[in-house]
Amino acid sequence: MLPRRLFVAAFPATAFASPVAAQSASPRHLQATRSANALLLLEGDAVVRRFRAAFGREDGPKRIRDDARTPVGDYTVFPARASARWKWFHPIDYPNARDVAEGAAQGLRKHQLGDEIGIHAHGGWPPTDLLAAHGIGWNWTAGCISVSNDEIEVVRAFVDRPMPIRLDA
């Protein structure tokens, strides 16, 4: 009979994977796609919720402060903070190190790239008549992603820790 410790040592390490390791195999994350006016909340490959969303007014990836464009690429979205204007605001780490490096290659400093990009509710904008005329798919933000005031509560419950978000054109 083998001693117990030798028997246990014979199992592969993956047989004792921790819940944390299993969770990292299919983490929660978000995907926002401007061309589809969609914000997806995902668990691994499974879509948990899908929302129609508004994006920046201008086409193309964000390159400079006040260009009214939504960034494109891989970022981190953070838990919400209260916002007098937008109800809740989930900051996104734009500009990240990649954006800063790309900006520097074009002679731009970090502060010239912009900031305060995130996911938020409508707040009081756009006015109800514009929403009725254009729907939430109408891109009106200065570069953020906006969902309805009710939907931001769902996003807020989902994004309970920093997590990845992919922003697509």
pLDDT mean over 80-102: 94
Examine the pLDDT at 24 and tell me if it is beyond 60: no
CATH number (domain holding residue 64)? 2.40.440.10
For the record, the structure tokens of 2 come out as 């083998």
pLDDT at 106 over 50: yes
More confident residue, 155 or 123: 155
pLDDT of residue 87: 86
Q: Is residue 15 part of a domain?
A: no
Task: Judge whether residue 54 has pLDDT over 80.
Answer: yes
Q: What percent of the chain has pLDDT over 90?
A: 68
**Model confidence over 109-142: pLDDT tens digits?**
999 999 999 999 987 665 555 555 455 557 889 9
Whether 4 is in a domain gets the answer: no
State the maximum Cα–Cα separation within the chain, in Å, rounded to a whole number.
80
For residue 33, what are the domain limits?
Answer: 28-168
- 93 domain residue, yes or no: yes
**How confident is the model at residue 142, as a pLDDT?**
93
Q: Is residue 41 part of a domain?
A: yes
Residue 162 CA to its chain's centroid (Å): 9
Total structural domains in the chain?
1
Q: Choose between 75 and 139: higher pLDDT.
A: 75
Is residue 113 in some structural domain? yes
Kindly provide the residue ranges of all beta strands, DSSP E only, lying in the chain, ordered along the sequence: 28-33, 38-43, 46-52, 73-77, 81-83, 87-91, 118-120, 145-146, 163-168
Query: Is the distance from CB of 113 to CB of 103 less than 8 angstroms?
Result: yes
pTM beyond 0.85, yes or no: no
Which class for 20: exposed (0-12), middle (13-18), buried (19 or more C-beta within 10 A)?
Answer: exposed
Inform me whether the pLDDT recorded for 5 exceeds 50: no
